[in-house]
C-alpha cells in the first residue's frame, strides 16, 4: 500500500479513462458506462460520462447536461463525498490491506489487495484494489455497497500529470447553453 501511495506522490494530478460495471444484487442486469476523469487534490476534477460533464475547481461545481444544453452551478461544499468523483481514485489509499494475492487482468499480472472497508462503513461492505506489479498504480477497483451491489472500476490509460493550471478544472461557457447558478 505504501508503494501505491508513493506512486500518487509522483504527480500533481491524474488523468484516466475508465469503465464501470455495476452488478445489481437482485437482478441479472449489469449497468456499464465509460468515462474520462482528470483529478487533482483539493476537490479539483473534470469528469466526462455519457451526456454529462462535471467540472470542479475546488470551490464551484459545474454540471453540464449536454443534451439539455444546461449547466447547473453548485458549491462543492454542498456535495456529499459519496458523489464526489475524485474520491473514488483515492479511497483505497485510506484502507488497510487484509490480504494480498496475485491476479491477472488484460494479460497483465497484478497484486490484488483485499481491503478493510470499515473506514467507509455505510458506503461499502467490501473493497479491493488491483495494482500494477510494475509501478503499483491502480488498475481495477472493486466495491460492494450495503445493498449487495458490486461495482468494478477498470482503469485504462492512467497517467500522472506533472503540472496543471486552475482553468483546467473550470467550465468554459458554450454559446446556446443556459447556466443556472444555484450557489
- What per-residue confidence (pLDDT) applies to 32? 95
- What per-residue confidence (pLDDT) applies to 12? 87
- What per-residue confidence (pLDDT) applies to 168? 95
The tally of domains found in the chain comes to 1
Site of grid cell 494475492: 101
| Contact in structure between 148 and 138 (CB atoms under 8 Å) | no
- What per-residue confidence (pLDDT) applies to 73? 96
| Contact in structure between 104 and 110 (CB atoms under 8 Å) | yes
Model confidence at 31: pLDDT above 70: yes
Question: Which residues is 15 bridged to in the sheet?
Answer: 38, 159
| pLDDT > 90 in the chain, percent | 73
8-state DSSP, 171: P
**φ, ψ dihedrals at 6, nearest 5°:** -65, -35
How many whole angstroms separate alpha carbon 5 and alpha carbon 1?
6
Over residues 147-170, the mean pLDDT reads 93
Dump pLDDT digits (tens) for 104-128. 998 999 999 999 999 988 889 999 9
Local confidence band at 93 (pLDDT 50, 70, 90 cut-offs):
confident
Separation in Å, CA 43 to CA 61, 73, 85, 139? 10, 15, 9, 22
CATH number of the domain that 99 lies in? Answer: 2.50.20.10
| Contact in structure between 88 and 82 (CB atoms under 8 Å) | no
Domain of 34 in residue numbering reads as: 2-181
How many whole angstroms separate alpha carbon 104 and alpha carbon 26?
28
- What per-residue confidence (pLDDT) applies to 153? 93
Over residues 52-56, the mean pLDDT reads 93
| C-alpha neighbours within 13 Å on the C-beta side of residue 174 | 15
Amino acid at each position: 500500500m505504501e508503494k501505491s501511495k508513493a506512486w500518487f506522490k509522483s504527480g500533481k494530478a491524474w488523468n484516466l479513462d475508465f469503465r464501470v460495471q455495476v452488478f445489481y444484487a437482485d437482478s441479472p442486469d449489469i449497468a456499464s458506462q465509460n468515462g474520462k476523469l482528470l483529478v487533482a487534490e483539493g476537490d479539483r476534477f473534470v469528469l466526462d460520462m455519457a451526456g454529462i460533464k462535471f467540472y470542479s475547481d475546488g470551490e464551484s461545481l459545474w454540471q453540464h447536461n449536454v443534451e439539455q444544453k444546461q449547466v447547473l452551478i453548485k458549491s462543492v461544499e454542498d456535495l456529499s463525498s459519496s458523489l464526489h468523483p475524485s474520491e473514488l481514485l483515492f479511497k483505497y489509499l485510506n484502507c488497510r490491506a487484509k490480504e494480498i494475492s496475485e491476479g491477472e487482468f488484460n494479460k497483465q499480472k497484478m497484486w490484488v489487495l483485499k481491503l478493510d472497508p470499515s473506514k467507509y462503513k455505510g458506503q461499502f461492505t467490501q473493497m479491493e484494489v488491483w495494482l500494477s506489479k510494475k509501478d503499483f498504480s491502480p488498475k481495477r477497483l472493486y466495491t460492494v455497497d450495503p445493498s449487495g451491489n458490486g461495482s468494478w472500476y477498470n482503469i485504462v490509460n492512467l497517467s500522472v500529470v506533472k503540472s496543471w493550471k486552475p482553468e483546467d478544472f473550470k467550465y468554459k461557457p458554450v454559446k446556446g447553453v443556459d447556466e443556472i447558478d444555484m450557489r
